[in-house]
Amino acid sequence: MHPKALLDACSELVREVLRFEHPADAVVSRYFREHRALGPRERATLAETAYAVVRRKLLFEHLAGSGSGPRERRLAILGFSGDRDFLKSALSEQEKAWLDQCDAVDPATLSERHRHNLPEWLVAPLKEQLGDDFWPLVESLDASAPLDVRVNTLADKREDVREELRLAGIAAKPTPYSPWGLRLEGKPALTKFDAFSRGAIEVQDEGSQLLALLTDARRGQMVVDFCAGAGGKTLALGAAMRNTGRLYAFDVSAHRLENLKPRLARSKLSNVHPAAIAHERDERIKRLAGKIDRVIVDAPCSGLGTLRRNPDLKWRQSAQSVVELAAKQGAILASAARLLKPGGRIVYATCSLLRAENEEVAQAFSAASPGFRRLQVQELLESARVDDAAKLCAEGGQDLRLWPQRHATDGFYAAAWEKVQS
């Protein structure tokens, strides 16, 4: 594609993504569907440019203030992810001079907001939690997330799969904490490999794997994945149960559960029962009350722990949406807890970085639920043979707290309780 045409396409995509009416990944996928002639390299440039603009929106808007021409074009030039000379061949003399000026800006002279590129409502709670670690977090959010897979230990061993991938030209290392994980080098398209099609691997961030390990679902148990979505955790739990017992995968979105089906078929699990529920107080939940050994609530949340992959979330969420989510999370956790039998365990998890969706929801549940004993996540991880469990927990070892800048995972939180014997 001619550089000028590719830059025009980037500007168009940037304009659509910046409307923030839909998730950026959905906007990008739709754009590609509507422009089928685009080749893989052009697609990569388009997607990476749009994401770069979303990531560094405040800085780019500031720099774009001095240029001329349509705003989206200036933003696309600043975020352009392809070769510099290629880009310059699409620019007017005036644009080239402006871009050189922008490149010459010393980052040290920029204001904080132009360096962190976060909305103000998010900065204060993050700084309060992180102190000096705030800037390393900002830096980590600019980098792309590694590609982790979980080995389906029902049928394969991690080392065998690692060797199989190596022979297929994919280098991988064991993940540092999860005994099920491999971290791949680069971003190979996995779907064409036998290890993928026969269900030996599933793409899953190491942090998500740790949530499943924490749930500790065992052979023969009755287990509920309350917010199963496309079933990332469900598949890990089903394998941990060695394809025995009964694992319910609930979600209010039948559409998301549909995406579980092909993954389930690859995994060879037959102990999973997906079911769409109307809401967290659905009749189906009431019928199972007091019968379940393990429940995981991977609650709907702001998703701010996934900003490396979904940078648009920082612009699509707000202080108000977090308040609403926290209320929803509390309601789901309280309902899900009714499922447990005495001695059963419930894990509450989010991929949010904010205390309002994490510690505060957990504390409110503890305070309102005398029949539940808070468990020490560090001890649970150690029992699940997770290395360096203390490093994965907040001080004191009570809760799991994963951060991209510390653990190279998405940001995750988890707390766990046991229903007291009655």
Ligand X SMILES: C[S@@+](CC[C@H](N)C(=O)[O-])C[C@H]1O[C@@H](n2cnc3c(N)ncnc32)[C@H](O)[C@@H]1O
Enumerate binding residues for ligand X (CB under 6 A). Answer: 208, 226-233, 250-253, 256, 279-280, 298, 300, 332
User: Is 194 labelled a binding residue?
Assistant: no
The amino acid present at 284, given as its one-letter code, is: R
Which of 67, 229 has the CB closer to ligand X? 229
Distance, in Å, from the CA atom of 385 to the CA atom of 179, rounded to the nearest integer, reads 8
**Of 361, 356, 363, 338, residue with least CA distance to 419:** 338
| CB 413, min distance to ligand X, A | 12
- What letter would DSSP give residue 420? P
Which of 90, 351 has the CB closer to ligand X? 351
3-state secondary structure of 328: helix
- Whether 351 is catalytic is yes
Which of 72, 225 has the CB closer to ligand X? 225
User: Is 83 labelled a binding residue?
Assistant: no
Distance, in Å, from the CA atom of 2 to the CA atom of 8, rounded to the nearest integer, reads 10
Distance, in Å, from the CA atom of 400 to the CA atom of 318, rounded to the nearest integer, reads 24
| CB 208, min distance to ligand X, A | 6
| Residue 418 near residue 344 (C-beta atoms within 8 A) | yes
The secondary element (H helix, E strand) that includes residue 82 is: none
Where b means 16+ CB within 10 Å and e means fewer, 231-250 reads bbbbbbbbbbbebebbbbbb
Distance, in Å, from the CA atom of 134 to the CA atom of 374, rounded to the nearest integer, reads 29
| CB 17, min distance to ligand X, A | 22
Which of 229, 344 has the CB closer to ligand X? 229
| CB 312, min distance to ligand X, A | 16
Q: Give the residue numbers annotated as catalytic, written as ranges.
A: 351
Binding-site sequence positions for S-adenosyl-L-methionine: 251, 298
Binding-site sequence positions: 251, 298
